[in-house]
Homo-oligomer: A and B are copies of this chain.
Amino acid sequence: MTTTATLVNHQIRLASRPVGLPTRANWNVTSEPVGTLEDGGVLVKTLALSLDPAMRGWMNEGKSYIPPVGIDEVMRAGGVGVVVASKNPSFAVGDHVNAGLGVQEYCLISSAQIKRSGLIKIDLNVGSLTQWLNVLGMPGMTGYFGLMDVGQPVAGETVVVSGAAGAVGQTVGQMAKIKGCRVVGIAGGEAKCDWVVNELGFDACIDYKAAAPEGVTRWDAVREGLKQHCPKGVDVYFDNVGGDILDTVLARINLRARIIICGAISQYNNTTAVKGPANYLSLLVNRARMEGIVVFDYADRYHLAVAEMAGYLKDGRMKSKEDVVVGLNTFPETLLKLFNGENFGKLVLQVAES
């Protein structure tokens, strides 16, 4: 049995609340002994962490769907790891698990914390470690239930998704294709757009960063792209970005369209007020609906979505792409890739090889 008490655990803690983009000054790197494993507890060695846009919200003070990360607390993060010590009969050394591990090398989970941490065993025959952070993890669950439960797409309808090459976006688009919809992505950069069309099978993808023709704004160009690629209008819009893209899509929605509000990455680092969707009256004209989704509400059905999408991964109808960065200490800079759009696929921080 490993002596856990003397193992050193490196951690990233929130030092201060950022204004705008987080900087290294907002983080502290700390180290401390792992501590003692008590009866019923499990010690997990972190292998890889999920880096998500939602993290930015957790760094802010104030009421949200979960409490903010406290100052000096280890930064909250979901991750996959391996059990290296266990005093719990349900978990054996060597088991691979998924849980809220935090941005740290080891996570000591007491008996009382197991449920809250969401600790579950994962089967690497079903999906790879990083797929368990992507399509089989929180982003995949978010995309699946946001699209299927809130969006309720019908075969033949047109589904638009922003952040199309991101973790949630790739799930949404591929699921919508499988369900028989026309799927149009919005993403930043030619490489991402090409990938979702050529590899994932989207019908089209609009590059919102493309140089607009002379005399035309970037958003006019996106509007033209929507007109061209959604000739029958937009029935379902899955919004990961907010801001001008949300407004532009609102101008193209159909009667009884469904807009899933999953995030607003364009607004998370604002130092000024959030930009509300000026075209929201399109909801009135079109008797359309805009609805928020928080993935935790669907926890009792995750296993169903995992089973369905694992099948698609196996038979090749779904693909996944992860952008893996190595090194716990790179966390402060790696996180920023989400906000400048540098990540290509689900952003994963690899903490240990095995």
In the complex, which of the residues B63, B282, B289, B290 contacts A280, with contact meaning CB atoms closer than 8 Å?
Answer: B290
| Chain B residues within an 8 Å CB radius of A278 | 273-276
Q: Say if the beta carbon of A292 comes within 8 Å of chain B.
A: yes
CB distance from A237 to the nearest CB of B (A): 14
Most chain-B Cβ atoms within 10 A of its Cβ — which of A275, A280, A287?
A: A280
**A290 & B291 in contact (Cβ 8 Å cutoff):** yes
Q: From A247, which residue of chain B is reached at the shortest CB distance?
A: B276
CB distance from A320 to the nearest CB of B (A): 24
**A276 & B273 in contact (Cβ 8 Å cutoff):** no
In the complex, which of the residues B63, B289, B294 contacts A290, with contact meaning CB atoms closer than 8 Å?
Answer: B289
Q: Say if the beta carbon of A285 comes within 8 Å of chain B.
A: yes
Q: Say if the beta carbon of A261 comes within 8 Å of chain B.
A: yes
Q: From A242, which residue of chain B is reached at the shortest CB distance?
A: B281
| Chain B residues within an 8 Å CB radius of A288 | 291-292
**B275 & A261 in contact (Cβ 8 Å cutoff):** no
| Chain B residues within an 8 Å CB radius of A267 | 281
| Chain B residues within an 8 Å CB radius of A292 | 281-289
| Chain B residues within an 8 Å CB radius of A242 | 281
**Contact residues, A44-103 vs B (CB, 8 A):** 63-65
| Chain B residues within an 8 Å CB radius of A273 | 278
Docked Cα-Cα span, A171 to B293, in Å, equals 31
In the complex, which of the residues B262, B263, B276, B294 contacts A275, with contact meaning CB atoms closer than 8 Å?
Answer: B276
CB distance from A265 to the nearest CB of B (A): 11
Q: Say if the beta carbon of A277 comes within 8 Å of chain B.
A: yes
Docked Cα-Cα span, A340 to B287, in Å, equals 27
**B281 & A274 in contact (Cβ 8 Å cutoff):** yes
**A262 & B284 in contact (Cβ 8 Å cutoff):** yes
**B289 & A289 in contact (Cβ 8 Å cutoff):** yes
| Chain B residues within an 8 Å CB radius of A290 | 280, 283, 289-291
| Chain B residues within an 8 Å CB radius of A275 | 276, 278
Q: Say if the beta carbon of A297 comes within 8 Å of chain B.
A: yes
Q: Say if the beta carbon of A330 comes within 8 Å of chain B.
A: no
| Chain B residues within an 8 Å CB radius of A261 | 280-281, 283-284
Q: Say if the beta carbon of A279 comes within 8 Å of chain B.
A: yes
What string of 1s and 0s marks CB contacts (under 8 Å) between A216-230 and chain B? 000000000000000
Q: Say if the beta carbon of A34 comes within 8 Å of chain B.
A: no
Docked Cα-Cα span, A78 to B279, in Å, equals 27
What string of 1s and 0s marks CB contacts (under 8 Å) between A290-304 and chain B? 111110010000000
Q: Say if the beta carbon of A305 comes within 8 Å of chain B.
A: no
**A291 & B280 in contact (Cβ 8 Å cutoff):** no
**B294 & A285 in contact (Cβ 8 Å cutoff):** yes
Q: Say if the beta carbon of A324 comes within 8 Å of chain B.
A: no
| Chain B residues within an 8 Å CB radius of A291 | 283, 287-290
Beyond the given A263-B284, A277-B277, A288-B291, could you list 14 further A-B residue pairs with CB under 8 A, ordered by the A residue number?
Answer: A261-B283, A262-B284, A264-B284, A273-B278, A274-B278, A276-B279, A276-B280, A284-B292, A284-B294, A285-B292, A286-B292, A287-B293, A287-B294, A288-B292
Q: Which residues of A contact B (CB under 8 A)?
A: 63-65, 242, 247, 261-264, 267, 273-294, 297
A-B contact pairs, 16 of them (CB 8 A): A64-B285, A242-B281, A261-B283, A263-B284, A274-B279, A275-B276, A276-B279, A277-B280, A284-B293, A284-B294, A285-B294, A287-B293, A288-B292, A289-B289, A289-B290, A290-B291
